């Protein structure tokens, strides 16, 4: 039976996922409902009509308040029937089941029940910014306060051994129970008992959506995962919060995800792209050109007497460096695997770490390389090479050429500028630890690259002359000429790194590698 009554546009704008939830149908069927192509049974038709009527009533009341959007969304969390949200009531009436709650301790059990009850509120879109509604934590905080189990939830937080040290002030109401905290990223904030459940739910939803698959069951599991992270942090321990980094210019072809030493690599699905990228132009490109990494990021907070103590554990202080090192290792590993294909530069474009307490999104856009016309394809055939190179990079002391890694990335971001060319030449010199003896770099290049040695030698010699011209102010190349020189230098750097790791891994961080590589001319690799 098809629905004959037209669905108002403002109801469609709230998204198909909430329709799928209350009707207990899949997302594809929910999209068909909007197109009047779905076959609904009488109960589902009745539910859809009730949903439309409810939305109209709240919208009319919102119009009378003079603030349609804010007033409308403020009312949605409070539509309860016998202690349950109306969306959940409708779902049950259409045969939908609620997630099984198997948590053992009171706090986890109470929070899981709240998560299951309020899950459908996260499915509501608010205009073009799909996360506008749930990111306004006041809506969720009010919704939690209206649920029958709110007092048990608040009590389980204050009685939980992990959170006891967080609340420095215990008041008569959840909003009057709070504590100040400072985190290892330099941010300060206030944790209130009233807003803490909302913060955990919001960040759990972020985590679920970035990973891809969504369902009430997955949401509850993710909330419990986030709760355990919050407990560790509240106990004063260092926790590894989820960190996601998006890369461009490479596509995962034969698989959706890959477990690596750096973490889990995932391809962009439409659901992930919709949530993470948001811009339609980027979403279309990333369908076949991009992937993301999920790993961990060391995180801690200080509260109470330690609030002003900035003596953080070494693991926390090195978190940013570890993140950058991982990004550079993945970038270099990709470059080594696809060296013969002269690939585009695979590089990070955004990063997002998700902590338990923040009510502000922590996604950051990175200054990155340009979008390539054709990405490299990571297929099953190159997995062995990827693994071998990742192990080689892991087992080799690369501290001596970290500067080269960073400069290559910098050059790839601005190849048409003199700054980019300078970065690329600095990278080449750092590969050989060339200081005062930089004039010997072409000789070392000729020794390292045995195939086409003369061509490599001449290129390195030309780049040395270019360096002098830039510093003397005699360089008058146009942007296209600079790009060609920068690209050639970057390619030479990557080729040198390729041979250095394979032939002389013990010399990668040797401060005297320039002279020792030159001394190997005509000798065995083991020299």
State the average pLDDT for the chain.
88
| Tokens of residue 155, six digits | 């009590």
Query: Domain map of the chain by residue range?
Result: 1-97, 396-527
Q: Answer yes or no: are the C-beta atoms of 69 and 127 closer than 8 Å.
A: yes
Task: Please compute the mean of the pLDDT values over residues 226-230 and round it to a whole number.
Answer: 97
- The answer to whether residue 232 scores a pLDDT higher than 60 is yes
- Classify 101 in phi/psi space as left (phi over 0), alpha (psi -120 to 50) or beta: beta
pLDDT for 293 beyond 90: yes
Give how far Cα 269 sits from Cα of 123, 275, 337, 375, 377, Å.
18, 10, 25, 17, 16
| Mean pLDDT, residues 226-249 taken together | 94
Contact (Cβ atoms closer than 8 angstroms) between residue 336 and residue 495: no
Confidence of residue 132 (pLDDT cuts 50, 70, 90): very low
Dump pLDDT digits (tens) for 431-471.
999 988 889 999 999 999 988 889 999 999 999 999 999 99
Please state, for a pLDDT cut of 90, what percent of the chain lies above it.
56
- The band of 165, judged by pLDDT with boundaries at 50, 70 and 90, is confident
Average pLDDT over residues 126-137: 54
pLDDT category at 47 given cuts 50, 70, 90 is very high
Reduced DSSP (H G I as helix, E B as strand, rest coil) percent helix, strand, coil of the chain, to 5: 55, 10, 30
Least confident of 211-215, 271-275, 361-365, 420-424: 361-365
| pLDDT at 1 (0 to 100) | 38
pLDDT per position as a tens digit, 481-504: 999 999 999 999 999 999 999 999
User: Is residue 31's pLDDT more than 70?
Assistant: yes
Tens digits of residue pLDDT in 78-95: 888 888 889 999 999 999
pTM, two decimals, is: 0.89
What is the share, in percent, of the chain residues with pLDDT greater than 70?
Answer: 91
What's the pLDDT at 139?
Answer: 77
Other CB atoms within a 10 A radius of the CB of residue 502 amount to 12
């Amino acid at each position: 039976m098809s629905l004959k009554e037209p669905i108002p546009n403002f109801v469609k704008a709230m998204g198909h996922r909430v329709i799928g939830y209350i009707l207990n149908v899949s997302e594809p069927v929910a999209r068909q409902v909007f197109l009047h192509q779905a076959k609904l049974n009488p109960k589902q038709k009745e539910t859809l009509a009730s949903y439309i009527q409810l939305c109209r009533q709240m919208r009319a009341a919102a119009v009378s308040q003079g603030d349609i959007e804010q007033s409308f969304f403020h009312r949605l969390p409070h539509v309860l029937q016998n202690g349950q949200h109306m969306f959940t009531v409708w779902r049950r009436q259409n045969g939908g089941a609620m997630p099984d709650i198997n948590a053992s301790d009171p706090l986890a059990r109470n929070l899981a029940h709240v998560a299951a009850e309020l899950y459908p509120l996260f499915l509501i879109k608010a205009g073009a910014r799909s996360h506008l509604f749930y990111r306004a934590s006041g809506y969720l905080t009010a919704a939690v306060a209206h649920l029958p189990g709110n007092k048990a939830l608040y009590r389980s937080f204050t009685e939980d051994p992990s959170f006891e040290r967080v609340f420095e002030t215990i008041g008569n109401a959840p909003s009057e129970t709070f504590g100040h905290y400072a985190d290892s990223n330099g941010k300060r904030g206030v944790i209130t008992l009233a807003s803490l459940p909302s913060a955990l739910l919001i960040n759990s939803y972020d985590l679920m959506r970035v990973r891809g698959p969504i369902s009430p069951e997955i949401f509850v599991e993710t909330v419990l995962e986030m709760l355990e992270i919050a407990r560790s942090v509240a106990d004063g321990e260092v926790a590894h919060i989820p960190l996601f980094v998006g890369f461009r210019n490479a596509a995962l072809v034969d698989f959706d995800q890959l477990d690596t030493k750096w973490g889990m690599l995932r391809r962009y699905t439409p659901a992930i792209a919709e949530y993470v990228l948001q811009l339609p132009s980027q979403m279309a490109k990333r369908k076949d050109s991009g992937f993301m990494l999920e790993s961990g990021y060391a995180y801690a907070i200080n509260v109470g007497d330690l609030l002003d103590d900035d003596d953080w554990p070494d693991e926390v202080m090195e978190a940013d460096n570890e993140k950058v090192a991982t990004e550079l290792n993945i970038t270099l590993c990709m470059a080594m695997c696809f060296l013969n294909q002269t690939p585009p530069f695979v590089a990070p474009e955004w990063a997002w770490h998700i902590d338990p307490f923040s009510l502000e999104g922590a996604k950051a856009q990175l200054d990155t390389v340009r979008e390539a016309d054709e990405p490299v394809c990571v297929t099953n055939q190159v997995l062995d090479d990827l693994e071998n190179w990742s192990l080689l990079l892991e087992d080799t002391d690369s501290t001596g050429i970290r500067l080269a890694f960073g400069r290559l990335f910098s050059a790839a971001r601005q190849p048409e500028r003199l700054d980019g060319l300078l970065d690329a030449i600095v990278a080449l010199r750092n590969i050989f630890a060339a200081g005062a003896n930089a004039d010997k770099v072409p000789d070392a290049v000729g020794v390292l690259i045995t195939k086409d040695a003369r061509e490599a030698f001449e290129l390195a010699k030309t780049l040395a002359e270019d360096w002098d011209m830039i510093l003397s102010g005699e360089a008058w190349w146009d942007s296209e000429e600079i790009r060609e020189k920068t690209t050639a230098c970057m390619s030479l750097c990557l080729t040198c790194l390729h041979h250095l790791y394979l032939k002389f891994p013990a010399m990668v961080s040797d401060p005297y590698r320039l002279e020792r590589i030159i001394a190997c001319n005509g000798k065995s690799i083991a020299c």
